[in-house]
Chains A and B, each alone.
Chain A
Amino acid sequence: DGGITQSPKYLFRKEGQNVTLSCEQNLNHDAMYWYRQDPGQGLRLIYYSQIVNDFQKGDIAEGYSVSREKKESFPLTVTSAQKNPTAFYLCASSSGRASGELFFGEGSRLTVL
């Protein structure tokens, strides 16, 4: 079945370590996104990519990096520069049509000890 796969679902890391979260989609969507969610809060956009080899910063890009070398993959690296990395991270994709909805993965919960 078509969808978005995020891995790992849960991740624990020590402070100061870089962490890479995986996001793969087989929906043939052009656009992909990374959101961050803190407890009791809405989603905040970290980075998005409209097409392969192109990406733009969202509202809270500091301390994060991404790449888009393949259409189906959009990994997110949480660097040691991110001051408060513990959060729920959500990846999404869309077809890029004018009214195209977002399709989300199940999320990755990162805890920094």
Chain B
Amino acid sequence: DAKTTQPPSMDCAEGRAANLPCNHSTISGNEYVYWYRQIHSQGPQYIIHGLKNNETNEMASLIITEDRKSSTLILPHATLRDTAVYYCIVRAGLGTGTASKLTFGTGTRLQVTL
């Protein structure tokens, strides 16, 4: 699976958009980009994933560059409850019945402030 690079920490003012970058320059054509977040002392929570196209759900938007070498997770209106560690992960879609072995790095610690 491709390696990812994220900044160790970021700050964002409450109500503003939080844009979390991720570099995955060695990504392969069949690898998905996943985003999870982990609030302190809890299990990670799935946010969103994508392959080529930009994706949006009720939590966030995922923007993947045309060459797929980087992506940005956007939280459109950050709140204090969005303070967490955000993990960007890439993994190949290996077909049905295959375990989703995801490798979690150290992520980006997002601090949302008043």
* A residues neighboring B (CB under 8 Å): 4, 30-31, 33, 35, 40-45, 48-51, 56, 58, 88, 90, 92, 94, 96-107, 109
Contact = CB atoms under 8 A, between A and B. Distances in A.
Interface of B: 32, 34, 36, 41-46, 49, 51, 87, 93-107
A33 B103 CA distance: 12
A6 to B, nearest CB: 8
A42 B87 contact: yes
B41 A102 contact: no
B90 to A, nearest CB: 12
Nearest to B48: A101
A31 B95 CA distance: 13
A103 B34 CA distance: 13
Given A98-B95, A99-B93, A101-B34, A48 B42 contact: no
Among A30, A43, A58, A94, residue most surrounded by chain B Cβ atoms (within 10 Å) = A43
B44 A90 contact: yes
B101 A96 contact: no
8 contacts: A33-B101, A35-B104, A42-B107, A45-B101, A88-B41, A99-B49, A104-B43, A107-B42
